[in-house]
C-alpha cells in the first residue's frame, strides 16, 4: 500500500526521520509492501509546501539546511500548518512542532485535525500527550486510526508499548530515572573539566538541544516526560507544572569537583511515587553514589526503572555507545517504529 505522509515541523528530528524513511524504503517495500511519498511539509522558518503528487524530499532537505524556503516546492499556496494538513491528502501525519509545556498547543489542534480527516498520527511532541492524551486517544479509536507517541520519552526505546502490552493489569506504583539526555551530557562533560557554557554549546552543535536550551537545563523537558508517563501509565492526568522542576543551572564546577572527590556525581533525577490516589513527582539534581543504577549512566544515556505491584523493578536503559550519541536519529526511530506498527497490517 502507498502512504502519503505529511510532516508538521521539519527540525532536526523530522529531517532525521525523512532520511531514515529513505534509508529503509527498500525494506519497507520488500517486507511489508509499503511505499510512501511526502505530500505536505510545514516548517517554522522556511515556509510550507503541499503537493498531493509528492514533494521532492531531497530538495526539501537541501533547501531547509541551506536556510532557503521550501515554498517553491509547493503545487499551490499554503501559509500555515493547518492548511498543510487539510490540503496534503495524507494518510499519516508526523507532528513534531516545537513543544509547548504549558498547553500542548498548537500540536493538539494539528493532531485533532489530522485524526478528524482520517489520518494516522505519530508524534514526538510531549505536550500533546500530557495535555491531550485522553481526548486524542478516544478520537483516534473512534476513527479506527493510530495515535502513536513512543518517541516522546526515551527517544526510540519502547517504553509505553512495553508496559501497556507486556504488563497486563500491572499497576505502576513508582519510577525513577534520567529522562533528559542533554542535562546528563552537560553534567558528564563538566565532570571531565568542561565549563557549563561549553558543554551547552556542544549539545547544541550535535542537535541534542535547541538554540535556546531552557526547556532542557531548567528541567521542563524532564518534567513534561514525567507528566506524560504519569498521564498514560498511571492513567492520571498530570502536568509539568505539578512537578515544579529544579534544573541544573546552579550546579557549579566546584560542586561537581567536590562530589567527584567523594566518589559521587550529580544527576538530574526524575522520581515518582504513588500512594493511594496521591502522586508525588519530582525533577531535581541529586547526588548519586556507585550503589545507584543512575551512577553509571553517562553522557547521553537515559533510562527509567519501573516498580509495579506484581513484579520486581524493571529497567529500560538507553546507553550511549562509543562514537554514537543519542539524539535526533534515535527519536526519529521511535517515530519510524510507530509508523511501521501502524501500517504494516
Active site residues: 225
- Angle, alpha carbons 32-33-34 (nearest 5°): 90
Helix (H, G, I), strand (E, B) or coil at 83: helix
Helix (H, G, I), strand (E, B) or coil at 317: strand
Residue spans of beta strands (DSSP E) within 159-213: 172-178
CA nearest neighbour of 127 among 111, 103, 154: 103
Instruction: Classify residue 288 by its DSSP letter.
Output: E
Helix (H, G, I), strand (E, B) or coil at 344: coil
Spatial neighbors of 229 by CB under 8 A, at least 6 apart, are 153, 159, 175, 272, 304
Spatial neighbors of 199 by CB under 8 A, at least 6 apart, are 185, 186, 189, 190
CB 265 within 8 A of CB 227: no
What is 231-284 written as a DSSP string? HHHS-----HHHH----STT--HHHHHHHHHTT-EEEEEEEEEEETTEEEEEEE
Burial 30-58 (b: 16+ CB within 10 A, else e): eeeebebbbbbbbbeebbbbbbeeebebe
CB 97 within 8 A of CB 41: no
CA 229, 232, 236, 242 dihedral sign is: positive
Question: What phi, psi does 233 have (nearest 5°)?
Answer: -85, -25
Helix (H, G, I), strand (E, B) or coil at 309: coil
Question: What phi, psi does 123 have (nearest 5°)?
Answer: -140, 155
Amino acid at each position: 500500500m502507498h502512504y502519503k505522509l505529511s510532516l508538521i515541523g521539519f527540525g532536526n528530528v523530522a529531517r532525521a526521520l525523512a532520511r531514515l524513511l529513505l534509508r529503509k524504503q527498500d525494506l519497507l517495500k520488500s517486507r511489508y509492501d509499503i511505499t510512501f511519498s511526502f505530500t505536505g511539509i510545514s516548517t517554522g522558518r522556511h515556509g510550507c509546501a503541499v503537493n498531493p503528487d509528492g514533494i521532492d524530499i531531497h530538495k526539501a532537505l537541501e533547501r531547509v539546511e541551506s536556510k532557503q524556503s521550501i515554498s517553491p516546492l509547493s503545487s499551490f499556496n499554503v501559509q500555515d500548518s493547518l492548511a498543510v494538513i487539510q490540503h496534503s491528502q495524507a494518510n499519516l501525519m508526523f507532528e513534531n512542532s516545537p513543544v509547548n509545556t504549558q498547553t500542548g498547543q498548537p500540536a493538539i489542534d494539528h493532531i485533532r485535525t489530522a485524526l478528524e480527516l482520517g489520518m494516522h498520527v505519530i508524534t514526538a511532541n510531549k505536550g500533546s500527550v500530557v495535555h491531550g492524551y485522553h481526548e486524542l486517544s478516544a478520537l483516534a479509536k473512534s476513527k479506527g486510526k493510530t495515535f502513536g507517541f513512543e518517541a516522546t520519552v526515551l527517544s526510540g526505546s519502547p517504553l509505553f508499548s512495553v508496559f501497556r502490552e507486556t504488563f497486563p493489569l500491572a499497576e505502576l506504583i513508582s519510577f525513577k530515572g534520567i529522562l533528559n539526555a542533554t542535562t546528563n551530557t552537560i553534567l558528564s562533560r563538566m565532570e571531565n573539566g568542561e565549563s557549563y557554557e561549553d558543554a551547552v554549546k556542544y549539545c547544541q552543535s550535535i542537535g541534542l538541544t535547541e538554540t535556546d536550551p531552557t526547556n532542557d537545563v531548567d528541567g521542563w523537558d524532564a518534567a513534561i516526560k514525567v507528566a506524560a508517563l504519569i498521564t498514560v501509565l498511571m492513567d492520571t492526568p498530570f502536568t509539568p507544572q505539578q512537578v515544579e522542576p529544579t534544573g541544573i543551572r546552579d550546579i557549579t564546577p566546584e560542586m561537581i569537583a567536590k562530589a567527584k572527590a567523594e566518589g559521587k556525581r550529580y544527576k538530574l533525577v526524575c522520581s515518582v511515587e504513588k500512594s493511594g490516589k496521591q502522586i508525588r513527582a519530582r525533577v531535581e539534581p541529586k547526588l548519586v553514589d556507585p550503589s545507584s543504577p543512575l551512577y553509571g549512566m553517562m553522557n547521553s544515556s537515559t533510562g527509567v526503572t519501573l516498580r509495579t505491584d506484581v513484579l520486581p523493578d524493571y529497567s529500560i536503559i538507553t546507553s550511549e555507545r562509543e562514537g554514537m550519541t543519542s539524539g535526533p536519529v534515535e527519536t526519529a526511530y521511535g517515530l519510524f517504529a510507530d509508523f511501521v506498527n501502524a501500517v504494516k497490517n
